Structure 1
Amino acid sequence: MAAAPAGLFAVYKPPGVSWCRVRDAVRARLLRELNEAPAPPPRQRIRFLPAAPGAGGAPGLVPAWVPVLAEHPLVRGPRFTQLKVGAGHRLDVKASGVFVLGVGHGNKLLTDRYHCHLTKVYTVGGLFGKATEDFSDTGKLVEKATFDHITREKLERILAVIQGTNHKALLMHSNIDMKTQEAYELAVNGLIRPMGKSPPIITAIRCLQFALPEFQLGISLTF
């Protein structure tokens, strides 16, 4: 039995494509290229074959090395027919970005990676003055409002309040005694993370672009 590849790697998902289609495409490509790779020569085994006529000796059997026909590609078929590929997290169909896939035994590492509570960074675009039923730019418009009174300073004040509220939630879910030296060092290095299952917590949020009515935010999440 051939050994299947194993490990973790990142893959880019374009917008308009579901994450499972990307995963399936990667799996199909890996299987095809694995089966197209040069195969090792078939094993040899000893068989006793009839002696060639006219050898000058008495008729009988002679030992000979012959390939194991059961391992011939036309008999065996493709070396790889299945490959387990798992996703570390998922992205919305309309989103684009990088997510992690696990292959073979590398899928076990996805659980370890999840429990590390690594920070995920998102870039989100928005439009003031309009609201849709599904909060997307292609959803049905359900409300319109004015936006001339909005300034970048007002937006950044609101973002600061959001970040402060989430920082309190992060401290609560970290289960760390904030009076200890360990807590101080973790806070200085920005390494405080939830210790168990928690709701998504914003660790950082800032305005990247502001050009009314459009704006763009950079959001760092952990959970």
Structure 2
Amino acid sequence: MAKFLSEAPVVWNLLNGVVCLYKSAGESARRVRGSFLHKLCLELNALEVRPPSTYVAIEGATNEEMSVTVRPSFADDPLVVGPRYRSEDFKAIWATKLGYNTSGVFVIGLNAGTRKAFAIHSAHPIRTYRLKGCFGQATDNIFKTGKLIETKSFYHVRRGGIERHLAMVQASHQKLAYESAGVDPQSQEAYELAVKGLVRPQDSKTPIIYGAKCINYSPPEFTIEISCINEYEDYLLGQIHNMGEKLHCPAMCTSIQCIHHSFFTMEDALLKKHWTLQDVIANLANNNRLLRKQGRLSENINKYIARAE
């Protein structure tokens, strides 16, 4: 790290913005955030922190000349009050919460960047997930960690059947997007709405799938990609279960990975081994430039970026 970044207060002032992390499966979003902030605090406290404040003591008999001594205050010593920087000192919110079994792109707003993270969340951006699964087996929670409850032959399932099902899902959700927006899909109003851009539902809690495709099928394993908004982990697992029912073959999910979130991709995400101050500061700078460049695509993001800066 550069010499001028050897002082903790200077580095602290640089920790503002949106950071993109890679979340591993099998960890809650809260735990990932806590581990990330704990790692930042360890590195901040290893830098040059401010010295303890001084304590002025006036000692001696009051009827004689008294002595004045200045010494470090024990009440401000890190050995007494703890480290200078703690996780509680940070403001950190995620733009979208990823489920326990979901890995991939995880966007967090840090300190002043919490307003930008909230703006990204309010804009309801599209997220793309890569779902891996297996035909012929079913578990009680539709995920590989569950208890196996059914096995069945999968040889009748063809890639064409998977693609036809996904095309039907995509078409039905396109119709649902117009209906959720309160317009008839066959009307002139629907056409004018489509010309303006992506048709979003008025209800921010209604999941909409804008794209679904099969990118690999090696029986019994398959991989599909789904681009959607307002989704959650159980909803994605439900899509795997529904596909198995339509194809008359039980199916379970083996992996859920978020590969694209708003303007952020897997290339922007920091692995856990890169959760260092130097890499985090570089990531914050790159992401802030990206948001300024792409902010014109979203009125909400523009508004919050201008307010934050």
Structure 2-normalised TM-score?
Answer: 0.56
Q: Does 2:194 match 1:183?
A: yes
| Pick aligned residue for 1:17 from 18, 27, 32 | 27
The structure richer in helix per residue is 2
In structure 2, C-alpha distance between the alignment counterparts of 1:72 and 1:128, rounded to whole Å: 61
CA RMSD of aligned residues (A): 3.5
Alpha carbons of 1:77 and 1:210: their partners in 2 closer, same or farther (altered >3 Å)?
Answer: closer
Pairing partner for 2:223 from 203, 216, 219: 216
Counterpart for residue 207 of structure 1: 214
Q: Distance in 2 between matches of 1:194 and 1:128?
A: 32
Residue 8 of structure 1 aligns to which amino acid in structure 2?
V
Measure how far apart 1:92 and its partner are. Answer: 2.7
CA contact (8 A) 1:17 1:94 kept: yes
Tell me how far 1:15 sits from its aligned partner. 2.2
Q: In the alignment, residue 197 of structure 1 is paired with which amino acid? A: S
Q: 1:36 to 1:215 in 2, by over 3 A?
A: same
1:19-168 equivalence runs, <5 A: 19-39=29-49, 78-81=83-86, 82-83=88-89, 84-168=91-175
Is the CA contact (8 Å cut-off) linking 1:123 and 1:219 kept in structure 2?
yes
Q: CA deviation at 1:20?
A: 2.0
- Percent identity among equivalent residues? 33
Cα deviation, residue 16, structure 1: 2.4
C-alpha distance in 2, partners of 1:95/1:140?
A: 19
Q: Partner amino acid for 1:218? A: E
Aligned to 1:56: none
Taking the aligned partners of 1:170 and 1:202, their CA distance within structure 2 comes to: 9
User: Separation in 1 of the partners of 2:135 and 2:42?
Assistant: 47
Structure 2 unaligned residues grouped into runs of 5+: 1-8, 55-69, 184-188, 231-309
- Larger RCO: 1 or 2 (CA < 8 Å, sep 6+): 2
Match of 1:53 in 2: none
**Partner residue of 2:236?**
none
Give the secondary-structure state (helix, strand or coil) at the position aligned to 1:31.
helix
**Larger deviation: 157-166 or 92-101?**
92-101
- Count of aligned residue pairs for this structure pair: 207
| Paired AA for residue 79 in structure 1 | R
Asked if the contact 1:173–1:198 (Cα under 8 Å) also holds between the matched residues in 2, the reply is no
Shift in CA distance, 43/142, structure 1 to aligned 2, threshold 3 Å: closer
CA 1:43–1:215: 2 relative to 1, 3 Å: same
> Aligned with 2:211: secondary structure?
strand
Q: Distance in 1 between matches of 2:82 and 2:221?
A: 56
The answer to whether the 8 A contact 1:209-1:216 is kept is yes
- Kindly indicate whether the alpha-carbon contact (under 8 Å) linking 1:42 and 1:67 is maintained by their aligned counterparts in 2: no
Equivalent residue letter for 1:184: V
